[in-house]
């Protein structure tokens, strides 16, 4: 009995230390965003800075209107992209999970094939800009490379195959339910863990994406928050490295580049950190149940 208690205590201590190690970078990042620029240059990043400063957030506050619009765009594309991505992935995964589907094997191969090969950046860019005319549109932030992928489809298919009882579907058929009604009223409510898991993955992907904005968006009014922060950081670096004249040099010297970089990271990750605890239990359950076998 004592050995079991000692083992549990040791495991708890180990988990607490691991949790603290995971939280340490976020705490260091947060404190660095409030650290005076000269203190960072002199002492480096620390949890207990010698001088605190709000200069980084003052700098970002001066861009409040632009950042508010960028936040709105990011929230919109994240919400729409997550919903549509879940819908498409689940609609494709459901027939693949049905053993009586005639071309099930061929479609599964096509989905898996997309995990191994793609058309490359230049052909993809030409297709979305020249064929679909998505450049400088919100669709360019939603569709390319993010809306869904084969991994999500196969993961949902595995969950449907292993966790949705076949007798329930057969009894629904006997009662006269259509295929769509079975999917909507029975399959989806029983698949909340895997849907929450994929939804969280899609949400993180959309929220953190800056690459689509870099490639397809040139209009500043369509910048997402990550794309805007990336461009702001590039502009700061450009000012500091290439400033000419007294006014430009003075303006560049007053920008707290290191603390602004940390403040940008804080602004970018805080929403995701806040919503993750609400999805955590579904995230773990969805991965462990849905990935048992295909």
Spatial CA neighbour of 205 closest among 94, 86, 93, 287? 86
Tokens 């910048």 found at = 223
Tokens 């966790």 found at = 163
What SS3 state is found at 54? coil
Identify the bridge partners of residue 52 per DSSP, sorted by sequence position.
Answer: 35
Reading the block at residue 225, the tokens are 């928050």
Helix (H) or strand (E) holding 284: helix 257-290
Q: How many whole angstroms separate alpha carbon 250 and alpha carbon 279? A: 47
Q: How many whole angstroms separate alpha carbon 133 and alpha carbon 131? A: 6
Q: How many whole angstroms separate alpha carbon 218 and alpha carbon 207? A: 19
Tokens 């003075």 found at = 250
Question: Taking the alpha carbons of 200, 202, 203, 208 in that order, is the dihedral positive or negative?
Answer: positive
Q: What is the pLDDT of residue 280?
A: 67
Mean pLDDT per segment of 10 residues, for the chain of length 294 residues?
76 88 86 84 81 84 85 93 94 89 86 86 91 92 90 90 86 86 89 88 90 91 87 69 52 68 82 74 57 44
Q: How many whole angstroms separate alpha carbon 80 and alpha carbon 191? A: 20
Q: How many whole angstroms separate alpha carbon 19 and alpha carbon 200? A: 21
Spatial CA neighbour of 88 closest among 148, 132, 160, 128? 148
Helices (H) and strands (E) in the chain, counts: 16, 0
Q: What is the pLDDT of residue 287?
A: 54
Cα→Cα distances 143→68, 73, 82, 223, 242, Å? 23, 14, 11, 15, 36
């Amino acid at each position: 009995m004592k050995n079991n208690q000692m083992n549990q205590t040791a495991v708890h201590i180990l988990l607490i230390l691991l949790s603290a190690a995971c939280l340490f970078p976020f705490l260091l990042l947060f404190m660095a965003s409030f650290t005076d620029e000269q203190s960072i240059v002199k002492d480096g990043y620390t949890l207990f800075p010698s001088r605190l400063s709000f200069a980084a957030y003052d700098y970002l506050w001066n861009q409040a209107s632009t950042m508010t619009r960028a936040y709105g765009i990011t929230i919109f594309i994240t919400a729409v992209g997550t919903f549509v991505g879940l819908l498409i992935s689940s609609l494709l995964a459901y027939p693949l999970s049905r053993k009586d589907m005639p071309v099930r094997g061929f479609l599964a191969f096509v989905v898996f094939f997309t995990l191994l090969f793609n058309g490359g950046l230049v052909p993809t860019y030409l297709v979305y800009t020249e064929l679909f005319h998505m450049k400088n549109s919100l669709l360019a932030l939603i569709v390319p490379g993010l809306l869904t992928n084969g991994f999500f489809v196969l993961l949902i298919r595995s969950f449907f195959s292993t966790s949705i009882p076949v007798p329930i579907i057969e009894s629904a058929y006997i009662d006269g339910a259509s295929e769509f009604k079975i999917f909507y009223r029975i399959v989806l409510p029983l698949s909340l863990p895997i849907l929450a898991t994929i939804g969280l993955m899609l949400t993180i992907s959309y929220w953190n994406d800056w690459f689509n904005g870099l490639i397809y968006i040139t209009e500043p009014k369509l910048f997402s928050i990550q794309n805007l922060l990336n461009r702001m950081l590039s502009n700061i670096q450009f000012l500091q490295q290439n400033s000419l004249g007294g006014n430009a040099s003075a303006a560049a010297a007053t920008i707290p580049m290191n603390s602004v970089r940390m403040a940008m990271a804080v602004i970018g990750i805080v929403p995701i950190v806040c919503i993750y605890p609400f999805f955590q239990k579904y995230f773990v359950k969805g991965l462990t149940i849905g990935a048992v076998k295909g």
